[in-house]
Amino acid sequence: MTNFEIQQSVPYFMIIGLKWRQVRGKLRQVASGPGGVTYGVTKRESIFYRAGVTRSRPVGRNWVRIGGKLFHVTLGCTGIYGTTRNGQIWKYRGE
Distance, CA of 59 to CA of 14 (rounded, Å): 7
Q: What is the pLDDT of residues 31-86, one digit of tens each?
A: 998 888 899 999 999 999 999 988 788 889 999 999 999 999 999 888 899 999 99
Cβ atoms of 43 and 9 closer than 8 Å:
yes
**Using CB atoms within 10 A of its CB, is residue 39 exposed (0-12), middle (13-18) or buried (19+)?**
buried
Q: Give 12's pLDDT tier (boundaries 50, 70, 90).
A: low
Please say whether the beta carbons of 56 and 63 come within 8 A: no
Phi/psi class of residue 16: alpha, beta or left (left: φ > 0; alpha: ψ in -120 to 50)? beta
